[in-house]
Amino acid sequence: MAVIAVFNQKGGVGKTTTTLNVAAGLAMLDRQPVILDLDPQAHVSLALGVRGVPSAACMSGFFRSGLPLEGMVRRLGNGIRLIPGHADLSKIDALLGSTPGVASRLRKGLRDTGVFGPSPVLIDCAPALGVLSLNALFAADRVLIPVTSDFLTIQGLNRLDIALQVLEQPLQRRIERRVVLTRYDESRPQCREALANLKQRYGEVLCDTRIPDDPALAESPAHGLDIFVYAGDSPGAHAYRQLTMELLDKGFLA
C-alpha cells in the first residue's frame, strides 16, 4: 500500500481533479485505488456522485469517534474505492487541535487496516495546513503537489517547501514529492514562464506530464463522472492517462 497525499495549501490548483482522475486512471489498469476525502467540502466525493452519507460513515467518523476505516469504504462503479468526506471535517481542528499525537492518527489507522492490500491510497487534502492535512502528510509515503501558473500559487511554493521541510524533522525522513503543472496553456506567456520557473526550481521533481486547461475536466464532476468516462478522447483524459503512467513508471504510486 503506497499512500500519496495530494496536497497544496492553495485552493483551486487541481488537487481534487488530479486525485479523481489519477485514481480513475489507476482503476482502469485494475489497480483498485482508494481515495480518502479529507476535505470538509467533500468535492471529490461529490465529483464521484457520492453525497448524503452520514458523518459517522465518512472520514469525519474516523477522526471524531475513532471508527475503523474499513467499515467506511464504498466501492464505486468505476473501480475506485472511496471513503467520503463530510462537512463535519471542518470541526476537527477545533476538536482535536491540541491533542497529543493527533497528527499520527491516520497513519496508525491505515497501518491497522488490512483491507487495502497493495492498492495505492490517494488522499485529497483540504486547502489548508491544519490537523487534517498534517494527518495526510504524516500518513503519506509521498506527496503529489498540483500547481497552476498564476502568481499567487507560484509565490505560495516557498511556504509549501518550508512546511514540508519542517515536517521532515519529526518524521525523520525525506518526504518524497512530485510537482505537476495543471491548467497549462502553452499560448499564455504566464504559463510558459511558470513552466521555466518550476523546471529550474524542482528539476526532476517536476512531472514531465502537464495537465492542459480543458473545459471537459471542469464539466465532468457535475455529471459524477471521471474524465475517462465523461470525455475519454479529450486532451484532459490523454494528460491524466499519461500522468498516471508517468507516476507508475517512476515508482511513485507503488
Ligand X SMILES: Nc1ncnc2c1ncn2[C@@H]1O[C@H](COP(=O)(O)OP(=O)(O)O)[C@@H](O)[C@H]1O
Residue of 15, 64, 183, 241 interacting with Mg ion (CB under 5 A)? 15
DSSP 8-class letter at 155: H
Residue of 15, 31, 105, 178 interacting with ligand X (CB under 6 A)? 15
23-143-9 Cα angle (round to 5): 100
| Cβ atoms 5, 126 nearer than 8 A | no
Grid cell, residue 158, equals 516557498
CA atoms within 13 A on the CB side of 23: 36
Grid cell, residue 92, equals 476537527
Stretch that binds ligand X, among 8-16, 29-37, 163-171, 224-232 (CB under 6 A): 8-16
Q: Is position 211 an interface residue for ligand X (rule: CB under 6 A)?
A: yes
In terms of CB distance, is 17 or 135 closer to ligand X?
17
Quote the CA–CA distance of 13 and 1 in Å, as a whole number.
Answer: 26
In terms of CB distance, is 10 or 43 closer to Mg ion?
43
39-142-118 Cα angle (round to 5): 90
Q: Which does 182 bind (CB under 5 to 8 A by kind): ligand X, Mg ion, none?
A: ligand X
Closest to 89 (Cα-Cα) out of 56, 109, 60, 61: 60
Looking at the DSSP bridge assignments, the partners of residue 122 are 4, 35
Q: Is position 43 an interface residue for Mg ion (rule: CB under 5 A)?
A: yes
Residue of 2, 9, 12, 161 interacting with ligand X (CB under 6 A)? 12
Of 227-246, binders to ligand X (CB under 6 A) are 236
Stretch that binds Mg ion, among 10-18, 29-37, 82-90, 246-254 (CB under 5 A): 10-18
Of 45-84, binders to ligand X (CB under 6 A) are none
DSSP 8-class letter at 56: G
Q: How far is the CB of 19 from Mg ion (least distance, A)?
A: 8
Q: How far is the CB of 204 from Mg ion (least distance, A)?
A: 26
Of 166-205, binders to ligand X (CB under 6 A) are 182-183
Amino acid letter for position 161: D
Alpha-carbon radius of gyration of the chain: 17
Q: Is position 21 an interface residue for Mg ion (rule: CB under 5 A)?
A: no
Q: Which does 209 bind (CB under 5 to 8 A by kind): Mg ion, ligand X, none?
A: none
Q: Is position 183 an interface residue for Mg ion (rule: CB under 5 A)?
A: no
Q: Residue 175: what are its φ and ψ, rounded to 5°?
A: -85, 110
**Where does this chain bind Mg ion (CB under 5 A)?**
15-16, 43
Residues within the interface to ligand X (CB under 6 A): 11-17, 43, 127, 182-183, 211, 213-214, 217-218, 221, 236
